[in-house]
Amino acid sequence: MKFIGFLVAILLAVAGVAAAEEPGAARLSLVKGDVQIYTDDAGEWVPAAVNMPLHEGDRLWSPEGGQAEVQIRGGVYLRLDAATSLDILNLGEDSFHFYQAEGRSYINNRRGGIDHIQIDTPLSSVGCYDNSLIMVDVTEGEVTSVSVLKGYASAETRSGKTRVSAGQSLRIGADQEADLFPLSSPDRWERWNRDRDRRVAAAESLRYIPDELDDYASDLDQNGRWLYAPEYGYVWSPQLSVSVGWAPYQSGRWVWIRGDYVWISYEPWGWAPYHYGRWAYVARFGWCWVPPARGAAWWAPGYVGWVSTPGYVAWVPLAPGEVYYGYGHYGPTSVNITNVTINRTVVREYRNVSVTNAVTVVNRDGFLHGRRERVTVRGNPFTAANVAIGPPRFRPAREALRPVDRKIPPRMAPPEKVQRVRVEDIRRERRLVPEERGSVFRPAVPAQELRVRKREAPTRVIEEKAPPAPREKAVPARRGPQGRSREDRRSVPRQSGAAREQAPRQEQAEKPARQEIRESPPPRERGSEPRGRGRREERE
């Protein structure tokens, strides 16, 4: 009976992670060097770009001199060093699944993050859990090393499964032999990751945005400031890389991704402000991003109003309260126009049309080929006759399937070993198993204990002294796009014992606000609404 109960638990766990991925769940938050991506749309390896959304089935390659960071909603950062590959197999509600054929990765699953992350390598399957820091190295001969800096991890081979605790490093050789070492001193890769962790840990913007967007607060802190506008409440104004005549949705590219045009911003902060909320032109301040209200943070391909003709394509940033017309459901302030006819009077009233440089009009043929060829249109293109409303439906040429238009030297292409990997084959051979006692290699039976030889000396010795680890902060449970915490979706406490703290972030609320241009009411504490937010909710 115990075995039957165990088997039922495994089947229920696998079924629970089979749900479809959430739109906008993952993105490339950092790209250095000639990082490349393979998607089903492009059908080839192409240059990657920061702020590119990632989906199940996408593949990443970071060549020599490259580094990449994948940010996943829920408090997860996964970074790749040079000569590292990563395949995204599953982005479920409570479990993520990746495959790493070679190279070095660093996984930061912050407290209150995701329940389970599985990283498969040619020789092993590694699982890490909430509030953990681990590094996975796949070196020559497919030798796999799992180093745990915080929390714990599990590592399985065809010979069995074992637990790796904080301060330990497990080495799995090509012969399946496993050796357990104490962690050595931090090397360059670990120190760089620790520094990145510190940069994204504390953020003043947490005081101004809904809980659902907490993960993106550090982007806003580093690239702008918060101001108070009586008609909207607290708004965010970009400061860096913004020139005279700048307007939203201009520094970037519309890329055809899974049947729709998605805005990929080349600005480092260009994720949350372009895929959530609205933009307003505020007197004295200029362009400002108005974040969505709590519980109303819905990701969209790009919150703009669209019109197109046989000669041109035009778009304008949507103002607060304006409805997004697109192909799909993106929350209560959007309309799915797949089978709906839109009244033309709707687009004639977009408020930002009257703002200088707000409307972008480009040649239709250039748009199809990924070129920005501006067109001069007499009058307001949104009031012209015979315009199509909504995102363009024509599939672009091959050039517009690339997130950025540049060439990468052939020597930087993924090696043959990486190119031969087939995501569908890995999914079939390595099932996602979130149950800690379950086995990836033998799904029908519990995993047996892996024989491990304990060593006293670390695998590497670095003389440089590492900087102190970042101080642990109490944070609330991560929330999904509709405002539901992961606690709300869970009926039984996790057996790992990782506590999730529910207290509001008082430390952020007590910090002095940045200097405001005009007198303003204090920002809200977590769990209370800011002044001025109620009016925006009524309009939206």
Q: For position 154, what pLDDT does the model report? A: 97
Instruction: Specify the pLDDT at position 20.
Output: 58
pLDDT band for 241, please (50, 70, 90 cuts).
low
Kindly state whether residues 192 and 210 are assigned to the same domain: no
Counted domains in the chain: 2
- Residue 484, domain member (yes or no): no
Higher-pLDDT residue of 222 and 395 is 222
In a domain, 252, yes or no: yes
Can you give the residue range of the structural domain that contains 214? 205-401
| Phi, psi (rounded to 5 degrees) for 264 | -115, 110
In this structure, are 104 and 166 located in the same domain? yes
Shared domain check, 311 and 251: yes
Of 17-26, 30-39, 342-351, the one with minimum mean pLDDT is 17-26
| Higher per-residue pLDDT: 20 or 188 | 188
193 & 333 share domain? no
Give the integer Cα–Cα distance in Å for 309 and 254.
Answer: 17
Give CA–CA dist 184/153, Å, rounded.
Answer: 17
Is residue 477 in some structural domain? no
Q: Is the pLDDT of residue 248 over 80?
A: yes
In this structure, the answer to whether residues 45 and 172 fall within a common structural domain is yes
- Average pLDDT for 254-273: 95
Least confident of 23-37, 153-167, 279-293, 343-357: 343-357
pLDDT tens for 402-421 read: 999 899 999 999 999 999 99
Q: Among the listed ranges 198-207, 337-346, 499-508, which one has the minimum average pLDDT value? A: 499-508
**Mean pLDDT of the 465-471 span:** 43
* Closest C-alpha among 337, 336, 333, 313 to residue 322: 333
Residues 6+ apart with CB under 8 A from 458: 169, 181, 182, 183, 184, 185
Do 153 and 260 share a domain, yes or no?
A: no
Q: Is residue 460 part of a domain?
A: no
Residues 222, 81 within the same domain: no
| 148 and 257 co-located in one domain | no
Same domain, yes or no, for 158 and 134?
A: yes
pLDDT of the residue at 22: 81
The mean-pLDDT minimum among 132-136, 167-171, 319-323, 492-496 falls in 492-496
Q: Which amino acid is at 84?
A: T
How far is the C-alpha of 234 from the C-alpha of 229, rounded, in Å? 6
**Residue 305 — very low, low, confident or very high, per pLDDT cuts 50/70/90?**
very high
What string of DSSP letters covers 4-50?
HHHHHHHHHHHHHT-SPPPTT-EEEEEEESS-EEE-TTT-SEEE--T
Residue 525 banded pLDDT, cuts 50, 70, 90:
low
Among 5, 10, 2, 1, smallest CA distance to 444 is for 10
Q: What is the mean pLDDT of the chain?
A: 83
Same domain, 128 and 250: no
Task: Specify whether 296 is located in the same domain as 425.
Answer: no
Residue 183 lies in a domain: yes
pLDDT at position 175 over 70: yes
Same domain, yes or no, for 427 and 363? no
What average pLDDT does the segment 99-104 reach?
Answer: 98
Overall average pLDDT of the 196-224 stretch:
92
Is residue 470 one of the residues assigned to a domain? Answer: no
Better pLDDT: 382 or 172: 172
Taking residue 226's Cβ as centre, other Cβ atoms within 10 Å add up to 23
Cα-based distances in Å from 453 to 137, 142, 176, 456: 19, 19, 12, 10
Question: Sorting pLDDT into bands at 50, 70 and 90, what band is 112?
Answer: confident
**Top-ranked range on mean pLDDT: pick from 237-251, 275-289, 461-475, 490-504:** 275-289
Whole-prediction pTM: 0.83
Q: Does residue 13 fall inside a structural domain?
A: no
- Mean pLDDT, range 240-264, rounded to an integer: 88
Q: What is the pLDDT of residue 341?
A: 77
Neighbours of 503 (CB within 10 A): 10
* CATH code, domain carrying 41: 2.60.120.1440
Map tokens 């032999």 to a residue: 177
Q: Quick check: 298 pLDDT over 70?
A: yes
